[in-house]
Structure formats: C-alpha cells, structure tokens
Homo-oligomer: A and B are copies of this chain.
Amino acid sequence: MTTAEGASQETYRLLWESPTAPRRGPKPTLTLAAIAAAGVELADEEGLAAVTMQHIAAALGVTKMALYRYLPGKVELVALMTEAAMGEAPSLDMAGWRPKLHEWARRLFAGLVRHPWLADTTVGARVIGPHELGWTEQAVAALIGTGLRGAEILDVVATLAGHAKAIAQQAAAAGAQTAEAGLTDAIGTMLRGREDRFPALVATLDALAREGGQDDALDFGLTRILDGVELLVTARGQGSDAG
C-alpha cells in the first residue's frame, strides 16, 4: 500500500498546509479553491456522480489533465470539495450543552441538505480536514464539563452526527423521486395488496395519513437522543454547568 500511503500524505498536505506558490514558470490559471468551488457547484446541481475530471475542467475552461497539476487525483478533489462545503464550524454562543448540541446538529443537517453528497464523502477511512475536524471540536467542546467520560462524549457526537446524516439522506431521497412523499409513497406502492404480510406497517402508514401533520424527523430524533443524554448527564451528577 505504498501508493495509498503516499497519496494519504499528499492529501494531508493539501488539506492542512497552505499551498506554496512556485517561483518560476507560467502563472497558474487556476487555484485549489476555484477547483473545489466548481466541484461543489457541480455536485450540488447534478449529484456526486456528475463530478468527473472532464466536467470540472470544462466548467473551468481547461483540459481535464490540467487539473492534475493541482491535485494528485480524484480522491483529493473530493476531499477539498468536502472541506469547502462543510465550511467553518459554527460558534455556539448559547448557554448549556443541550441547546448547543441541538443547534450544532441542526446546522450540520442544514449543510447536509444544501450539499447532500456530503453524507457520502464524510464516511469511511480518509484524511480529515480542518473544517470537518472543527465541527467535531465544537460538539465535543459543548460536552466538556458534563461529567461524561471521553468515550461517551465521542459516542454522543457520533450518534448526533449519524442521525443528522441519516435524516438528510432520507430527505434527499424523498425529494428526488416526488415532491414531498417520503417513505409513504415509495413503500405504499409495494404494500398494496400485501396488507396481511406487513400489517403493522400498513396500520402505521394509515395512521400517518390520518394524522396528516407535519413530520420533523430531524428534531424528533434529536430530542429523543438528547433526552437520553440528559438522563445520563444527570445520573453523572453534575448536569448543571457547561462551557
């Protein structure tokens, strides 16, 4: 895995160190920021699958191979796009760990809705950039002083981030096929004529249709999770103060 290892180090340098401008030769027509921005725009409009070297190069008025003067390969491109799309981590000014985490998750969700492909690129073994790590820092910071252990803090953050990601992906999928129908329509088609095989599901979808109300899956899950965390924090015996 010498190749992968070397590529990882190159990715690390791209994400964490400011690029050193060369002294000789023609001025570069592009910048890493411009390439990343083009990639983000393309991914937002046509999906991550549409992000190809040729498409980005065309959007920038350059040949495909010109991009390889700036990045070693597509992995690095996606990493830069991810960093650009995540943006600077938000500063959570409110008091108390719970409002902070709730707001943090909501902002993360907003970013994931704006850039649905982020859910795909922020998964798996990879080099993590300063922006992404900054988001984690903010959430962890909110939990310092709650009395939770280190592992518990990280688990809470992972749970919240996982929930935001899952709901964002679900929302993106629902918006892709029809206007508003989420599980209801897609599943409803298959349930027709099979009420005996999936009785609970059919009953629940019927109930859902009768309720008719607005369904905020993100906030619902966040409230449950944070309720559970609050129970643990209280049990730890010092749930009052928080940075």
Binding site for B on A (CB under 8 A): 12, 16, 123-128, 130, 133-134, 136-137, 140-141, 144, 149-156, 158-159, 161-163, 165-167, 169-170, 172-174, 176-177, 183, 186-187, 189-191, 197-201, 203-211, 213, 215, 217, 220-221, 223-229, 231-232
Q: Which residue of B lies closest to A174 (CB)?
A: B125
A54 and B181 alpha carbons, distance in the complex (Å): 37
Does B198 lie within 8 Å of A150, measured CB to CB?
A: no
Q: Which residues of B contact A229 (CB under 8 A)?
A: 224
28 contacts between A and B (CB under 8 A): A124-B176, A128-B190, A133-B187, A133-B198, A136-B187, A137-B199, A141-B200, A144-B203, A150-B205, A150-B207, A150-B208, A153-B207, A155-B215, A156-B224, A158-B166, A158-B167, A158-B217, A159-B217, A159-B220, A159-B221, A159-B225, A161-B166, A163-B163, A165-B166, A224-B225, A224-B228, A225-B228, A228-B231
A98 and B226 alpha carbons, distance in the complex (Å): 18
Known A137-B198, A198-B137; contact A154-B224, beta-carbon cutoff 8 A: no
Q: Which residues of B contact A205 (CB under 8 A)?
A: 150
Copy tally for this chain in the complex stands at 2
Q: Which residues of B contact A173 (CB under 8 A)?
A: 123-126
Question: Which of these, B136, B153, B166, B206, contacts A150 with CB under 8 Å?
Answer: B206
A210 and B166 alpha carbons, distance in the complex (Å): 32
Q: Which residues of B contact A169 (CB under 8 A)?
A: 123-124
Question: Which of these, B149, B155, B187, B191, contacts A207 with CB under 8 Å?
Answer: B149
Beyond known contacts A137-B198, A162-B167, A226-B228: 8 more, CB 8 A cutoff: A123-B173, A128-B187, A140-B201, A144-B200, A149-B208, A150-B210, A153-B207, A158-B217
Known A125-B173, A159-B225; contact A190-B12, beta-carbon cutoff 8 A: yes
A204 and B167 alpha carbons, distance in the complex (Å): 27
Q: Which residues of B contact A200 (CB under 8 A)?
A: 137, 140-141, 144
Q: Which residues of B contact A170 (CB under 8 A)?
A: 158
Q: Which residue of B lies closest to A215 (CB)?
A: B151
Q: Which residues of B contact A123 (CB under 8 A)?
A: 169, 173
A130 and B187 alpha carbons, distance in the complex (Å): 10
Does A172 lie within 8 Å of B204, measured CB to CB?
A: no
